[in-house]
Amino acid sequence: MCPLIITIVLTCFCVPAIAQSTTPDQSLLTKTRSLYDAPFTRGLISFDCTLNFDWKQHFVDLLGSVPPAAVPTAERLQAIQHRVFVDRAGAIVSAVPKGPDLGNVAHATELEQVFIAITSSGLNAWLPSSTNVLLPVGPTNASWEKTDTGYKLTMNGPGVAGQLLLTADMRLTSGVTQLPQPMRFTTDFKPGPNGFLLASVQTGDTIDPGTSKVASFAYTYQTVQGFQLPFQVAVTSATSETWHYVLADCKAAKGISITGLPLR
């Protein structure tokens, strides 16, 4: 089994910061950004968690049952413990205490690599909302237009061009960018204790729905040291294979609150 994995990170929507402005468009943008829960702008430095994944259940979800030939592979993979470390730069998944020797287990090495790619992609797709860069970071080159369902936000600047759609209560629902690369996405935000939380995001690697390779990500949350962090994550690749995993035993590192910084 070798599923196609799409690991699209939405950092392209981060607009470089430039000189401050007090225009009505900028005031509305500042107000809108304040409505979102972005823990990395409120003092979160990093967090790390245990990754819980049920290999036998994954085979059942995918194939309807666990093939007898796959039982030894599933059991060997289940014995491996993984943790994930997440900061502004991205998610790093690793086996603990050390990487396993899977040379004598059929397809185990390949599946282990897929697992690491899938689990890290789920958290990397969450990062733009957690750093508050889905909305433009730069204070200019953003203009608002009232629509029947809410607002349209147009972004223009050096190397940046795109449009975002928001509801009347300022929840981001979709976007299309022409620069720095053509792509589109749809999002669902839910109210949380500290602002809007990303419930799901679906990404396409072009602006043409008929040709895009689509990946989707869904999240539920847990409170860790005052921060809302992912708890259950579901990742669906372009092949429609879905992977479910849980983040447990999470530990967060706090620091000084930083706002408006792009991912590095």
33-46 residue pLDDT tens: 999 999 999 999 99
In a domain, 263, yes or no: no
Alpha carbon distance 77, 102 (integer Å):
9
- Helix then strand then coil, % of the chain, to nearest 5: 25, 40, 35
91 or 255, greater pLDDT: 91
In a domain, 21, yes or no: no
Alpha carbon distance 14, 116 (integer Å):
26
In a domain, 91, yes or no: yes
Domain containing 128: what range? 36-251
HEC string of 235-260?
Answer: EECCCCCEEEEEEEEEEEEECCCCCC
The number of domains in the chain is 1
Q: By the 8 A CB rule, do 54 and 175 touch?
A: no
Flag the least confident range among 5-14, 57-66, 70-79, 197-206: 5-14
53 or 262, greater pLDDT: 53
pTM, full prediction: 0.85
Residue 60 has pLDDT above 90, yes or no: yes
In a domain, 26, yes or no: no
Q: Which residue has the tokens 């809007």?
A: 196
Q: What is the pLDDT of residues 108-153, one digit of tens each?
A: 889 999 999 999 999 999 999 999 988 887 645 789 999 999 999 9
The CB-side HSE value for 238 (13 A sphere, CA atoms) comes to 14
Q: Judge residue 97's burial from the number of C-beta atoms within 10 Å of its C-beta, 0-12 exposed, 13-18 middle, 19 or more buried.
A: exposed
Percent of the chain whose predicted confidence (pLDDT) is above 70: 86
Band of pLDDT at residue 26, cut at 50, 70 and 90: confident
In a domain, 256, yes or no: no
pLDDT of residue 101: 78
Alpha carbon distance 170, 134 (integer Å):
13
Q: What is the DSSP letter of 21?
A: -
Residue 9 has pLDDT above 60, yes or no: no
